Amino acid sequence: MIERARAANRVELDLLSLGDHHAMSTPYYQNTPMLGRLLAEWGPRPVGCLFLLPLWNPLLVAEHIGTLAALSDAPFVLQTGIGFRQDQFAAMNAGHGTRGAVLEESIRVVRGLLAGEVMESDLMGGPASIGLIPRQKVEWWLAGGPSRTAIERAARLGDAWYGSPALSAETAVEQLRVYTDACAGAGRPARPIVRKDVVVLAEPGAARKVGTEILTAGYRGLDEASVLLGTPAEVADQLAPFADLGFTDVVCRCLTVPQSQAIESIELLAEVRQLLT
């Protein structure tokens, strides 16, 4: 992870962000301590973490963000969503059936705490505030889809809609319409962002070969139409329909390839970006 952060910084990619999972059977490095370490390898560009807020005490989230924001002057991106794995909710003693309502309440509380307010909520034992108030802007990217409720929540409460990695240009059309309509109704600007799992290699055919093998073995329930595989020019072509639809950013995660191919993919993403601008 340190090597990959260094590679991303070397080619000046735009965002360094880590995910959030718990009770994993495979090694999973927790986001806040790892991001604290990776900030030593990163420049002045935005950083962030995904927090599955229904699994967290909102006071703890605000304290973690305040601490991380103190280590950087860059904008902090707080990505969040309701989560889905029932076993993860059970392990964290969190209610799976109430996660939508808990997410919205957590957003209210964390947003207030980060603004320096004293907040009260049933999610905490009593009134609370934090001393580490971020100096910089904290952006809220809300994941959601295909659920209409989740997409409309992103429009109502978020600075951006964080589309699913399974989103294709075809399935994005209707979900994007729901989002932009909800933004217009709420009087908020639309900023759609898509996540993608990628392999970008210079040798023609190499990325598709390795990516197809990984997907055939069963990778995160995704299929070939959902991921980005190819040379920089091919991946730029695959992303062009999203740009045409109005998506402003793509957040990329490497498939489970050998480290050398992951580093190459990260470095070549800079070429993909150049082709799209």
CA torsion sign for 14, 5, 192, 104 is: negative
Range of 107's domain?
1-143
The whole-angstrom separation of Cα 18 and Cα 149 is: 25
Q: Model confidence over 73-95: pLDDT tens digits?
A: 999 999 999 998 899 999 999 99
Q: Look at residue 270 and tell me if it is in a domain.
A: no
Residue 184 lies in a domain: no
Q: Say how far apart CA 199 and CA 148 lie, in whole Å.
A: 30
Report if residue 266 sits inside a domain. Answer: no
Specify the number of domains making up the chain: 1
Instruction: Give a yes or no: residue 103 inside a domain.
Output: yes
What is the structure's pLDDT at 145? 85
Considering the domain boundaries, does residue 151 fall inside one? Answer: no
Q: Which of 123, 119, 121 is nearest to 95 (CA)?
A: 123
In a domain, 60, yes or no: yes
The answer to whether 221 and 166 are in contact (CB under 8 A) is: yes
Any idea which residue has 């908020």 for tokens? 188
- Positions of the chain with pLDDT lower than 70, given as ranges: none
Q: What is the pTM of this model?
A: 0.94
* Residue 113 lies inside a defined structural domain of this protein: yes
For 193, the token pair is 């962002």
pLDDT of residue 198: 98
* pLDDT at residue 264, as a whole number: 98
CA distances from 191 to 14, 112, 160, 196 (A): 16, 22, 5, 17
Whether residue 78 is contained in a domain is answered as: yes
Which residue reads 């950087």 in tokens? 72
What's the CATH number where 92 sits? Answer: 3.20.20.30
**Residue 84: what pLDDT?**
85
Residue type present at position 8: A
